[in-house]
Amino acid sequence: MRLLINRTMIVLTLEIMLIGTLAATAAGQTQATMPIQHVVVIFQENVSFDHYFGTYPNALNPAGEPAFKAAATTPSVNGLSDALLTNNPNLANPSRLDRSQAITCDQDHDYTAEQKAFDHGLMDRFVQETGVAGPGCKSGKSTVMDYYDGNTVTALWNYAQHFAMSDNSYGSTFGPSTPGALNLIAGQTHGAQPASAAGAVSQGTIIGDLDPSYDACSTGTTVAMTGKNVGDLLNAKGVTWGWFQGGFTPSSTAGGKVVCGSSHVNVGGATVTDYSAHHEPFQYYQSTANPNHLPPTSVAMVGKTDQAKHQYDLSSFWAAVNAGRMPAVSFLKAAKYQDGHAGYSDPLDEQHFLVDTLNRLQKRPEWAHTAVIIAYDDSDGWYDHQMGPIVSPSSDPTNDALAGTGLCGTTKAGAYQDRCGLGPRLPLMVISPYARTNFVDHSITSQTSILRFIEDNWNLGRIGDQSFDATAGTLNNLFTFSHGADKLFLDPVTGEL
């Protein structure tokens, strides 16, 4: 009987692979090496692993809140132990944030501040170095230590029960949104022009947030990137792809001036502009930028090269999906109020976006050969107790501070400076029929592991020029191709089944 079941699984897998191969061939694009014909990367904002999963799978479950009860077979994660919760080496112990405290203040997540918080790997200076006191900081700077559990980030904990997650994945470098987004699509933060900008660009490397030069909705000092990104590699192989971001469609073009001014109201009642230029990494590269936010010439051209140059509003993704034209590779960026970034977004609005997106995708016939990867651009400076390995040393006396002034290991001869990493630990999840079920991967990965996965699945080759794609860990441990996870439809408000 076991042999018969195994043979059946193999036949089904081969059938799915054949269907995917025929679809790819019909579309005239490079055939995928795995049975995954569609990769959807949902790239969210500013969350450390402990901030969302520190007490997983144990939730407080107070009355009146969505309840979470883990399966008996749930594997453990490297989370917050009793000792870290009650006798933490920082100036304050971690404290649970209730569902009613979804809106919090934004923490300090600068390249140097995060290194100082790590303090030689002691992980004991978060309150002093990345903590912020101000509106929304319930405990002043000590708020940086706090975490949510399965009564607030309920959907993510339920996805972890049914699909695969990592507890050992990191930012490719320290620093905020722009470096994280660039590490996702290029594994490279070096190659910036201008080569210097106070607090944001050092020795040709981006360490802070500046808007992209090739974006009419950018403001203030801008920066451009040289070199290649994954979009260039996908174009070279004829693989359909796109970056889809909330608010990308201009709210006005009066007088020839492009304005990205659409907005939404978050759960706290604040009006938040949808689009953030420095969250759109392809706009830093002239080869892939759509400066004036031009729409695709037709739904049939979404994912292909036309005036939009693969840069779209989120609405174009769903137009393509509904027309049966889902690109092979899609990067989804929520409108700001739903991207999870503390200060203007929150886990409840974020949950609504994630659940809506996944519910819709799982109803599509393409789901049979789709992998959704949920990842984050940076930690926001939120406390996380686990330091990753330093695989990219840097010794800039102005910006590096992991082990003292100017110290983040010893830079190898010829290596680019100001790319100290791995950085803070971040959530990473795979939602797919091919994801392992209720599985926690402990192997070391990073933001650039997603880039490497895409490169490997479509035989794209590597970026080169010291890109981290050559050294990033594999995501393959999160997948299985002999059997897979069932669909999971959740309530976007409660996160429950």
Q: Which of 300, 318, 317, 301 is nearest to 309 (CA)?
A: 301
What's the CA gap between 386 and 395, in Å, rounded? 22
What's the CA gap between 138 and 141, in Å, rounded? 9
Q: Are strands 445-446 and 192-193 parallel, antiparallel or unpaired?
A: unpaired
pLDDT per residue as tens digits for the range 169-196: 999 999 999 999 999 999 999 999 999 9
Return the domain boundaries, the chain: 34-478
Q: Which of 425, 370, 482, 457 is nearest to 168 (CA)?
A: 425
The predicted pLDDT at position 13 comes to: 41
Q: Is the pLDDT of residue 3 over 90?
A: no
29-35: list long-range contacts, CB under 8 Å, 24+ apart.
29/237, 29/238, 29/239, 29/240, 29/328, 30/237, 30/238, 30/239, 30/458, 30/459, 32/328, 32/457, 32/458, 33/456, 33/457, 33/458, 33/459, 34/434, 34/457, 34/479, 34/481, 35/369, 35/434, 35/481
**How is the chain split among helix, strand and coil, in percent rounded to 5?**
30, 15, 55
How confident is the model over 457-484, as a mean pLDDT? 95
Query: Does an H or E element contain 341, and which?
Result: none
What's the CA gap between 189 and 206, in Å, rounded? 5
Q: Which two tokens stand for residue 424?
A: 């803070």
The predicted pLDDT at position 440 comes to: 98
Query: Does an H or E element contain 224, and which?
Result: strand 222-225
pLDDT per residue as tens digits for the range 237-279: 999 999 999 999 999 999 999 999 999 999 999 999 999 999 9
Coil/strand/helix, residue 478:
helix
pLDDT band at 25, cuts 50/70/90? Answer: very low
Q: Are 206 and 197 in contact (CB under 8 A)?
A: no
The predicted pLDDT at position 29 comes to: 61
| Average pLDDT of the chain, as a whole number | 94
Provide, rounded to the nearest whole percent, the portion of the chain with pLDDT above 70.
94
Q: Which amino acid, 403?
A: A
Beta pairing partners, 164: 430, 439
Q: pLDDT higher for 202 or 23?
A: 202
Q: Is the pLDDT of residue 20 over 60?
A: no
What's the CA gap between 132 and 381, in Å, rounded? 10
How confident is the model over 316-323, as a mean pLDDT? 98
* Cα pseudo-dihedral 475, 44, 355, 17, rounded to 10: -30
Beta pairing partners, 263: 273
Q: Are 107 and 341 in contact (CB under 8 A)?
A: no
The position carrying tokens 């100082």 is: 116
Q: Is the pLDDT of residue 15 over 90?
A: no
The position carrying tokens 């092979």 is: 328
Provide, rounded to the nearest whole percent, the portion of the chain with pLDDT above 90.
92
- Using alpha carbons, list the distances in angstroms from residue 255 to 145, 252, 258, 263, 289: 48, 9, 9, 21, 22
pLDDT per residue as tens digits for the range 399-452: 999 999 999 999 989 999 999 999 999 999 999 999 999 999 999 999 999 999
- Give backbone dihedrals phi and psi of 61, rounded to 5 degrees, phi first: 60, 55
Q: pLDDT higher for 10 or 338?
A: 338
Positive or negative, the CA dihedral 311, 315, 317, 319 is: negative
Burial of 94 (0-12, 13-18, 19+ CB in 10 A): buried
What's the CA gap between 59 and 327, in Å, rounded? 38
The predicted pLDDT at position 291 comes to: 98
How confident is the model over 10-38, as a mean pLDDT? 57
pLDDT per residue as tens digits for the range 269-309: 999 999 999 999 999 999 999 999 999 999 999 999 999 99
pLDDT per residue as tens digits for the range 47-71: 999 999 999 999 999 999 999 999 9
What's the CA gap between 378 and 173, in Å, rounded? 9
What's the CA gap between 74 and 193, in Å, rounded? 48
Q: Which two tokens stand for residue 333?
A: 């960026």
pTM (predicted TM-score)? 0.94
How confident is the model over 101-125, as a mean pLDDT? 98
Beta pairing partners, 331: 41, 243
Q: Which CATH class is domain 34-478?
A: alpha beta
Helix residue ranges, H only, 363-481: 447-457
Q: Are 375 and 395 in contact (CB under 8 A)?
A: no
The predicted pLDDT at position 135 comes to: 83
What's the CA gap between 420 and 256, in Å, rounded? 41
